[in-house]
């Protein structure tokens, strides 16, 4: 969400998440250069923390033709924002508002007979994607339920109650392209499509691959690839260099001199090894800095990496400025693409013992957001 109502000085005085839309567009272009399949922009979880509406808009302009989300609530946000592209929502309880989905023209995934009965019972011709499990035992129909689900869907389609637009599944180990499970899952998916066709269904959109399989495994592409992490610069397989789109900055609140041995923060887990200067950053774990990264994390202050001193608190973090006289108000780069030496999302994920997706989806709501193009970012952060 662009914060156009804040003046530049006011923005500089508070934590700010800057999203570079050009990076998202470049990532879509990279994906499109690797496949002939259509591209679904997966913008669940507020566009992986990059803003659902802005990320969807940028991805569609760059050539994505579908939008994908988990909940219907997210799909309705997109429709209300005016997007007319096909939208698929794949994680809904049987009691979800499928009537509203039909009115909004949102496709829904159907993993079982209960959900099928709910959508067919509306008699609205809702477009569904039958969802089959191919080896991760998360979403999707069990192998032994699949033929029955297909037969029931065919009956519902023949009577005009639904339209079976697609068949989908998801890979559990696509981030490890060499794992044999991937080929086994692709084979199971092909079999599942054959079962659907044998039942008399003609699903036009078969889709299995997310970012990692799209970038590493052409056999998984089928008609449509579902790209989430890749939009925002994350390749879960680590094979392709994409462009990070997110930069998190905050001004120093206050700087103090301390003597050697001074304890810092909750539980005094850190003591100044020598006389130093400490800077206070108005960001904490409620803003998305993982507390588990406390004893390893660094940020960029005036072009230098400075370590976090002590435990990251809910709202604030102390930095060891190493004796530098940094004025309060100075902008600190907490994470970004890394071009200026700042830590990356991957650095933070490593420090916290997690994956990049967890870092980008957890930036807190009180951090202001803005979307810029490439040139604007360079200018303002310089």
Ligand X SMILES: *Cc1c(COP(=O)(O)O)cnc(C)c1O
Q: Which of residues 11 and 362 has its CB atom nearest to ligand X in the complex?
A: 362
Smallest Cα–Cα separation from 238: which of 220, 212, 261, 270?
A: 212
Spatial neighbors of 144 by CB under 8 A, at least 6 apart, are none
* Binding of residue 31 to ligand X (CB under 6 A): no
Backbone angles phi, psi at 144, to 5 degrees: -80, -5
- CB under 6 A: which stretch of 30-38, 73-81, 229-237, 247-255 binds ligand X? 229-237
Among 32, 79, 107, 170, binds ligand X (CB under 6 A): 170
* C-alpha–C-alpha distance, residues 327 and 12, integer Å: 14
Q: Among residues 18, 211, 277, 361, which is the contact residue for ligand X, using CB under 6 A?
A: 211
The Cα 30–Cα 222 span in angstroms is 18
Q: Which of 229, 297, 299, 334: binder of ligand X (CB under 6 A)?
A: 229
* Residue among 23, 37, 42, 118 that touches ligand X (CB under 6 A): 42
285 among known catalytic residues: no
Closest approach, Cβ 289 to ligand X, in A, equals 22
Do 340 and 300 form a contact (C-beta atoms < 8 A)? Answer: yes
* Stretch binding ligand X (CB under 6 A), from 94-102, 121-129, 222-230, 343-351: 222-230
Tell me the two tokens of residue 147. Answer: 């033929």
222-to-39, 167, 198, 312, 322 alpha-carbon distances in Å: 11, 10, 18, 45, 54
Q: Give me the least distance between CB of 299 and ligand X, in Å please.
A: 26
246 lies in the site for ligand X, by CB under 6 A: no
Assess whether 24 carries a catalytic annotation: no
Rounded distance, CA 337 to CA 103, Å? 41
- Asked if residue 47 binds ligand X (CB under 6 A), the reply is no
Task: Tell me if 35 contacts ligand X by CB under 6 A.
Answer: no
Q: Of 32, 44, 129, 154, which residue is the catalytic one?
A: 44
The verdict on 161 binding ligand X (CB under 6 A) reads no
- Choosing from 29, 256, 266, 273, the catalytic residue is 266
Backbone angles phi, psi at 32, to 5 degrees: -65, -30
Binding flag, residue 66, ligand X (CB under 6 A) = no
Under a CB-based contact definition with an 8 Å cutoff, are residues 356 and 234 in contact? Answer: yes
Nearest to ligand X of 16, 42 (CB atom): 42
Q: Which residues contact 23 (CB under 8 A, 6 or more apart)?
A: 232, 233, 243, 244, 245, 337, 374
**Minimum Å distance from CB 109 to ligand X?**
8
- Tokens (6 digits) for 232: 């925002």
Task: Name the E strands within the chain.
Answer: 16-20, 38-42, 66-69, 87-89, 107-110, 126-131, 162-168, 205-207, 224-227, 246-251, 254-258, 263-264, 270-271, 276-281, 298-301, 304-307, 317-320, 331-335, 368-372
Give min distance, CB of 66 to ligand X, in A.
11
Nearer to ligand X, 138 or 267 (CB): 138
Using CB under 6 A, pick the residue from 51, 203, 228, 233 that binds ligand X: 228
Q: How far, CA to CA in Å, does 374 sit from each of 41, 192, 345, 380? A: 21, 44, 18, 10
Taking the complex as a whole, the smallest distance from the CB of residue 311 to ligand X amounts, in Å, to 31
Is 90 a residue that touches ligand X (CB under 6 A)? yes
- Of 47 and 230, CB closest to ligand X: 230
Among 150, 210, 352, 367, binds ligand X (CB under 6 A): 210
Least gap, CB of 40 to ligand X (angstroms)? 8
- Positions annotated as catalytic residues are 44, 266
**Binding site residues, ligand X, CB under 6 A:** 42, 44, 90, 170, 210-212, 226-230, 236
């Amino acid at each position: 969400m662009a914060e156009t109502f804040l003046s530049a000085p006011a923005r500089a005085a508070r934590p700010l998440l800057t999203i570079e839309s050009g990076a998202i567009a470049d990532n879509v272009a990279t994906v499109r250069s690797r496949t002939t399949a259509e591209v679904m922009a997966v913008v669940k979880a507020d566009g992986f923390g990059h803003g659902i509406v802005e990320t969807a808009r940028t991805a569609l302009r760059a050539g994505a033709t579908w939008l994908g989300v988990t909940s219907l609530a997210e799909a309705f946000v997109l429709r209300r924002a005016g997007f007319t592209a096909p939208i698929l929502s794949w994680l809904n309880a049987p009691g979800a508002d499928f009537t509203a989905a039909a009115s909004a023209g949102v496709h829904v995934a159907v993993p079982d007979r209960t959900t099928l009965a709910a959508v067919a019972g509306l008699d609205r011709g809702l477009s569904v994607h039958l969802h089959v499990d191919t080896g991760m035992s998360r979403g999707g129909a069990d192998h032994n339920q699949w033929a029955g689900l297909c037969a029931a869907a065919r009956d519902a389609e023949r009577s005009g109650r639904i339209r079976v637009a697609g068949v989908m599944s998801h890979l559990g180990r696509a981030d490890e392209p060499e794992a044999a499970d991937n080929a086994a899952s692709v084979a199971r998916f092909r079999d599942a499509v054959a079962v659907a066709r044998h039942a008399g269904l003609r699903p036009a959109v078969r889709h299995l691959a997310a970012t990692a399989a799209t970038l590493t495994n052409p056999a998984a592409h089928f008609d449509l690839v579902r790209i989430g992490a890749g939009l925002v610069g994350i390749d879960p397989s680590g094979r392709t260099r994409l462009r990070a789109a997110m930069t998190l900055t905050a001004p120093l609140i206050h700087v103090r001199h301390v003597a050697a041995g001074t304890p810092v923060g909750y539980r005094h887990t850190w003591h100044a090894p020598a006389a130093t200067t400490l800077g206070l950053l108005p960001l904490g774990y409620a803003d998305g800095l993982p507390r588990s990264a406390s004893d390893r994390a660094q940020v960029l202050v005036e072009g230098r990496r400075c370590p976090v001193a002590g435990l990251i608190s809910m709202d604030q973090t102390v930095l060891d400025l190493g004796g530098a006289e940094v004025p309060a108000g100075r902008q600190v780069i907490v994470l970004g693409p890394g071009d200026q030496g700042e830590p990356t999302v991957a650095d933070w994920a490593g420090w916290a013992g997690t994956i990049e997706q967890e870092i980008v989806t957890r930036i807190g709501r009180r951090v202001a957001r803005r979307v810029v193009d490439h040139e604007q970012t360079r200018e303002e952060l310089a």
